[in-house]
Amino acid sequence: MGERFLTRGFIAFSAALVAAIWIPSAFAGNVRGDFDGDGYADLAIGAPWEDLGFQEDAGVVTVLYGSAEGLSATDSQRWNQNVRGIQDEAEIGDWFGRDLAAGDFDGDGFSDLAVGVPGENLRYDPACDDATFPCDDVGAVAVLYGSNTGLTARDQFWTQASPGVADRLGEFEHFGRSLAAANFGNGRRADLAIGVSEDVGAGDDAGAVHVLYGASGGLSTKGSQFWHQNRPGIVGRAESLDHFGWSLAAADFGKSAHADLAVGVFNEDLPGAGGAGAVAVLYGGSDGLSAAGDQLWHQDSPGIDDEPEFQDFFGEVLSAANLARAPMRISPSAFPTRISEHRRARVSYTSSTGLPRASPRPAPSSGPRIPTESRTRWKSTTASAMLSPPPTSETGPMRILQSASL
């Protein structure tokens, strides 16, 4: 189950962490990243391969609450799909907690938590139309809402069969494999971007991203969006195994007071370099995310060091942060890398007009496509790199970080 998504050989260890940090109001509706509103940051920890009884890899999420003395196990929580108030039940290979995102989706002043369940099966959902193996690994997202007592289960459970969500259920599409929360616009609350291994046109696993916008009652399908590379205005086109949306990162890269969305397209082909990878950027505004001024970054973009090479997987991992105040040390050991290769991090600095202009997308390569499931020989490096602060003339508020192999 889920072989098309990833294997244990692909990533030997994965624990998704969401540090509920102080987030500026422009990013997440005045969210302070605090599930219980006590003024201290809290931490959600995903263990997607945790077994629950005989249900292997069902997954759990542990929440540690902050205090004046730091994180504490006092009043900690352990969430899984066998907990009352969370829809469905723990099953083999659900991967509950594979990715996490925190934001104030209902604007009540408490941070909420979106939990990816990309291996979710919906065998009894009426939307299933395959009588033999109905709706395997379609994926889901559970949402836990914050309160003065911490996270609570409000029975909100999103799939591609939820009323108002674009498209429909598809086997092995792993809705919820990647998540990012921020205020993209279209209101004052945090919104949620959800990656899915969507087939787009003739492109199997081309990939797509759903966006649900926050509302007074929590996440809603009102004004929701469905992004992929065949949408008008999006640079490039959807191709098999592109994996648009495999990784997501949200932050204010410039252009407006709203957050923007970086989308990893790690298996994007470039001329002569199959699987070189790319990163698409959609900018937020008063009406939410828009294709206007969108960008596609890759290692052949002007100003980007190095050049695209076979299976670089540029954009497989994304992170966005404001690096203007102090250097940041990054250990590539956090990123998987192919044996005999080294890994380095790449940083793009923004300005008030957004990320520097990217080059037009080159014509697709005629080289071979490498399916994700074939990439099983991985190890972690131990090298680290020091990122220096931007030049003093740099005024952009946020920066985007991508990983790429040398």
Mean confidence (pLDDT) of the chain? 76
Q: Which is it for the CA torsion 342, 320, 57, 333, positive or negative?
A: positive
- The tens digit of pLDDT for each residue in 140-175 reads 999 999 999 999 998 799 999 899 998 888 889 999
| Averaged pLDDT for residues 378-403 | 34
Q: Which range has the top average pLDDT, 7-11, 29-33, 302-306, 343-347?
A: 302-306
- Cβ neighbors of 13 (< 8 A, separation 6 or more) are none
Higher pLDDT, 264 or 349: 264
CA distance 272 to 366: 7
Structure confidence at residue 341 (pLDDT): 38
Please tell me the predicted confidence (pLDDT) of residue 211: 97
Top mean pLDDT of 21-30, 138-147, 160-169, 365-374 is at 138-147
Q: How far apart are CA 75 and CA 212, in angstroms?
A: 30
Average pLDDT (47-71) is: 95
d(CA 215, CA 104): 10
Higher pLDDT, 349 or 222: 222
Structure tokens at 14: 């994965």
Task: Please tell me the distance from the alpha carbon of residue 103 to that of residue 21, in angstroms, as a whole number.
Answer: 10
Q: What percent of the chain has pLDDT over 70?
A: 68
pLDDT at 254 over 70: yes
Confidence check: pLDDT of 348 > 90: no
Higher pLDDT, residue 242 or 377: 242
223-250, pLDDT tens digit by residue? 999 999 899 988 888 888 889 999 999 9
| Residue among 180, 119, 216 at smallest CA distance from 320 | 180
Tens digits of per-residue pLDDT, 296-312?
A: 998 888 988 888 889 88
Checking if the pLDDT of 320 tops 90, the result is: no
Would you say residue 1 has pLDDT above 70? no
Backbone φ and ψ for 27, nearest 5 degrees, come out as: -95, -35
Q: Residue 33: its pLDDT value, please? A: 65
Cβ atoms 312, 390 nearer than 8 A: no
Supply the pTM of this predicted model: 0.75
Say if residue 337's pLDDT is above 50.
no
pLDDT tier, 252 (very low <50, low <70, confident <90, very high otherwise): very high
**Cβ pair 252, 26 in contact under 8 A:** yes
